Amino acid sequence: MKTIILAGGKLKKLSALYKETGIEKKALLPMGGKPMIRWVADALMGSKHVDGLAIVGLKPGDFNTADYPVHYLENKGAMLDNALAGLQLIEKIAPNEEKKDNGITFP
């Protein structure tokens, strides 16, 4: 199944964390030697149920994803808008994929 990662959060230029790191996108902040997003992507792709990612808020080249299939979407602004855009992307790239959440099938 394809999985959505919402990664549209940004640091304010005046924040202490931005001043310290110079990194604007929160998902790219380093943790344990790699960007936060990489920890999430690696964990999801390590699942036997996930075979691809839709990342909303980053673009190709923001971090190394050569290990697995990733589709990117630009940040749409609000979290709900990003989630809906991610769902639309998955519907486009995997239209026949079954949609489930905790065993409940959605039409």
CATH of the domain at 78: 3.90.550.10
Which residue shows structure tokens 């979290």?
A: 79
Q: How far apart are CA 100 and CA 11, in angstroms?
A: 33
Confidence (pLDDT) at 94:
85
The answer to whether residue 104 sits within a structural domain is no
107: in domain: no
Is the pLDDT assigned to residue 107 strictly greater than 60?
A: no
pTM of the model: 0.82
* CB distance 26 to 12 below 8 Å: no
Is residue 90 situated within a structural domain?
Answer: yes
Mean pLDDT within 38-53: 93
Report the pLDDT averaged over residues 21-41.
94
Given this model, what pLDDT does residue 65 score?
81
CA distances from 14 to 17, 77, 105 (A): 9, 20, 45
39 assigned to some structural domain = yes
Range of the domain at 45: 2-97
Q: How far apart are CA 2 and CA 12, in angstroms?
A: 31
Residue 103 lies in a domain: no
| pLDDT: which is higher, 64 or 54 | 54
How far apart CA 95 and CA 37 sit, in angstroms, is 26
Asked if residue 102 belongs to a domain, the reply is: no
- Looking at the 3D structure of the chain, how many domains does it have? 1
